[in-house]
Amino acid sequence: MAKLILIRHGQSLWNAENKFTGWVDVPLGEQGRAEATIASCKLKDYRVRVCFTSLLFRAIETAIIILTEVEDICDGRIPIIKHQADDEDWHGWDKYKGDPEQQLPVYLTAKLDERYYGELQGLNKAETAVKFGQEQVQLWRRSYTVAPPGGESLADTVKRTVPFFCDRILQHLITGDNILVVAHGNSLRAIIKHLENLSEEEIVNVELGTAIPIVYDIDAYGQIANKVILN
Ligand SMILES: O=C(O)[C@@H](CO)OP(=O)(O)O
């Protein structure tokens, strides 16, 4: 049965400062890199065939630390980062095909980017709660349909993450490939809502810690057979 490993990136420098981050491309700090290393050790007995991350550096950095701290996770393959060919800054170095059997492709996609936090990006979460009220800020952060000012609701995030999951990730799982997905608190909540068939009320209570692997067994019908959280 295929393994699906979902993991939020390690602590970023803005997570540490309690700032709304969204699409701002803030890297990991020392603690975030240490968390990613610990996640790699927790995954030492797992073997991954394909990895997907967002375009944001904190997710890419976490993925590469996981795949390279304990190299056995790659099962003798070399992780090769597959940049988006339609990126205007793409220089063509992804044209290398090589032997697919020797590679562990790491696909980068904006579809897995964090939920866009609009006008809240860069603001301190505690100060924002004082200004707008705890209840309003909690709705912006965790409700399914309420979007933060100028940003995406979780329902909006579902519209880009779930089709990508169904079109690009599920096919690998159904054929038995183990998959690592490194993304963000809310882009992963969007996928988890779909995968676990959670209601709009249930997803409100789902919180993901930084760099905590969630491992699903996925059967040949794309259904969950088991779930473990490697706390
Ligand atoms: O700032 C963000 O982009 C996210 C994740 O860190 O915040 P929240 O905890 O509100 O989902």
Which of 35, 114, 152, 184 is the catalytic position? 114
Rounded-to-integer distance, Cα 46 and Cα 74, Å: 9
172 given a catalytic annotation = no
The residue whose CA has the least distance to atom 7 of ligand 1 is: 20
Q: Quick one: average pLDDT of 104-131?
A: 97
Q: What is the pLDDT of residues 23-50, one digit of tens each?
A: 999 999 999 999 999 999 999 999 999 9
Q: Quick one: average pLDDT of 214-229?
A: 97
Rounded-to-integer distance, Cα 149 and Cα 25, Å: 19
Q: Kindly report the pTM of this predicted structure.
A: 0.96
Total Cβ atoms within 10 A of residue 107: 17
pLDDT of residue 89: 62
Q: Quick one: average pLDDT of 223-230?
A: 98
Q: What is the pLDDT of residues 160-197, one digit of tens each?
A: 999 999 999 999 999 999 999 999 999 999 999 999 99
Residue whose tokens read 């301190």? 124
The yes-or-no verdict on residue 96 having pLDDT over 80 is no
Is the C-beta atom of 116 inside 6 A of ligand 1? Answer: no
Rounded-to-integer distance, Cα 197 and Cα 96, Å: 39
Residue whose tokens read 């032997």? 99
Q: What is the pLDDT of residues 147-157, one digit of tens each?
A: 999 999 999 99
For the chain, what percent of residues have pLDDT higher than 90? 92
Mention every residue, 6+ apart, whose C-beta is less than 8 A from residue 95.
Answer: none
Q: Quick one: average pLDDT of 193-214?
A: 98
- What does DSSP say about strands 2-8 and 214-218: parallel, antiparallel, or unpaired? antiparallel
Which pLDDT band, with edges at 50, 70 and 90, does 91 fall under?
low
Residue 41's CATH number: 3.40.50.1240
Which pLDDT band, with edges at 50, 70 and 90, does 93 fall under?
low
Residue whose tokens read 């100060």? 127
DSSP characters for the chain? -EEEEEEEPPPBHHHHTTB--TTS-PPB-HHHHHHHHHHHHHTTT---SEEEE-SSHHHHHHHHHHHHHSGGGGTTPEEEEE--TT-TT--SGGG----GGGEEEEEE-GGGSPPP-GGGTTSBHHHHHHHH-HHHHHHHHH-SSPPPTTS--HHHHHHHHHHHIIIIIHHHHHTT--EEEEE-HHHHHHHHHHHTT--HHHHTT----TT--EEEEE-TTS-EEEEEE--
pLDDT of residue 84: 74
Rounded-to-integer distance, Cα 124 and Cα 51, Å: 32
Which pLDDT band, with edges at 50, 70 and 90, does 90 fall under?
low
pLDDT of residue 83: 82
Q: Quick one: average pLDDT of 111-125?
A: 98
Q: Which of 20, 24, 138, 188 gets mutated to test ligand 1 (max ligand atoms within 8 A of its CB)?
A: 20
Residue 13 near residue 27 (C-beta atoms within 8 A) = yes
The residue whose CA has the least distance to atom 5 of ligand 1 is: 185
Structural domain count, the chain: 1
List strands edge to edge, sheet with 179-183. 78-82, 103-108, 50-53, 179-183, 2-8, 214-218, 224-229
For the chain, what percent of residues have pLDDT higher than 70? 96
pLDDT of residue 97: 79
Which pLDDT band, with edges at 50, 70 and 90, does 85 fall under?
low
User: Domain range spanning residue 48?
Assistant: 2-229
pLDDT of residue 87: 60
The yes-or-no verdict on residue 219 having pLDDT over 80 is yes
pLDDT of residue 86: 65
